[in-house]
């Protein structure tokens, strides 16, 4: 094959861009009627600067974009015909916004349980302190009562009336017949109401120096005892001296008209009185006497001892 013009080109050899070259123009090549030689193409070749964009269309007409192609726009609120929403495509975006599930709530500490436990601990502490204080007060009160109520030979006592009770069984006691008498004291039985087995009592005590003495040989232990005396006065309060092992007891022996007998009525004047002396284990001497300043118009029929501090017989 030699170079040269082979005449009109066959369709498959036709250069769609031949019109752009000098030799093509010499052969009469023309721009293709379609877009760049492709069938049904809507594009048109234009010289540079010929195509215009953004021109304002007359009032009431739609603007054109390119060559005679109106811009298609949907009505208000409607999408353009060339636009297809992604949610309309298979596998596209969801048509509605799905709510995001809230994160799982974190479980906080059991503050209610902790609060109940703390309250229980505080309550236990308060109760323990209260019990300790109450026990302490009880012990103090008990000790105070023992200290204040325990009579000694220098401490006074004021017995209350206890009627005409007799000595209880098992107590250390003595009758008028077993007492040692001195200073004009004498045994008698004229006045009724004495609790001795033979109705006897000791009279003649209403004179200075008169006395009765009881020697106790079987005191079980050292300590405070209650000395009871059964007596009668003629409607008037009396007071005699008590000596324990030779030492006067500070308060003496109160012989008051606890029976509220009328003046001179010895029969209805029988009653009981007491003091709280401190005794030694074994033998002790208890003496009741009429000393200067005492009032000794009384009858005594029985004496007895009870270990500890008591205010009534038994």
CATH class of 172-307: mainly beta
What CA–CA distance (Å, rounded) separates 205 from 183?
A: 8
Domain boundaries in the chain?
Answer: 11-37, 172-307
Mean predicted confidence (pLDDT) in 144-173:
45
Task: Give tens-digit pLDDT for 189-229.
Answer: 999 999 999 999 999 999 999 999 999 999 999 999 999 99
Tokens of 192: 């009724």
Task: Give tens-digit pLDDT for 257-298.
Answer: 999 999 999 999 999 999 999 999 999 999 999 999 999 999
Residue 200 has what pLDDT? 96
Higher pLDDT, 202 or 35: 202
DSSP state of 118: H
DSSP state of 176: G
Query: β-strands 253-255, 201-203: how paired?
Result: unpaired
Mean predicted confidence (pLDDT) in 30-42:
54
């Amino acid at each position: 094959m030699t170079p040269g013009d082979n005449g009109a080109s066959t369709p498959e050899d036709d250069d769609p861009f031949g019109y752009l070259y000098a030799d093509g123009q010499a052969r009469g090549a023309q721009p293709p009627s379609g877009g760049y030689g492709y069938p049904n193409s809507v594009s048109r070749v234009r010289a540079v600067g010929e195509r215009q964009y953004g021109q304002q269309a007359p009032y009431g007409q739609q603007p054109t974009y390119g060559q005679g192609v109106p811009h298609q726009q949907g009505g208000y609120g409607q999408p353009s015909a060339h636009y297809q929403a992604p949610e309309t495509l298979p596998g596209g975006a969801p048509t509605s916004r799905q709510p995001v599930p809230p994160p799982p709530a974190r479980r906080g500490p059991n503050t209610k349980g902790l609060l109940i436990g703390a309250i229980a601990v505080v309550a236990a502490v308060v109760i323990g302190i209260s019990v300790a204080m109450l026990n302490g007060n009880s012990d103090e009160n008990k000790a105070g009562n023992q200290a204040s109520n325990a009579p000694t030979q220098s401490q006074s006592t004021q017995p209350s009336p206890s009627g005409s009770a007799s000595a209880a069984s098992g107590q250390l006691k003595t009758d008028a017949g077993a007492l040692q008498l001195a200073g004009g004291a004498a045994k008698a039985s004229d006045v009724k109401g004495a609790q001795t087995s033979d109705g006897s009592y000791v009279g003649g005590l209403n004179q200075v120096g008169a006395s009765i003495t009881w020697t106790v040989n079987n005191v079980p232990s050292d300590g405070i005892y209650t000395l009871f005396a059964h007596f009668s006065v003629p409607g008037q309060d009396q007071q005699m001296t008590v000596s324990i092992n030779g030492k006067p007891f500070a308060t003496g022996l109160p012989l008051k008209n606890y029976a509220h007998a009328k003046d001179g009525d010895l029969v209805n004047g029988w009653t009981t009185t007491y003091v709280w002396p401190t005794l030694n284990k074994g033998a002790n001497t208890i003496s009741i006497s009429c000393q200067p300043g005492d009032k000794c118009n009384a009858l005594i029929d029985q004496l007895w001892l009870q270990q500890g501090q008591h205010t009534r017989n038994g």
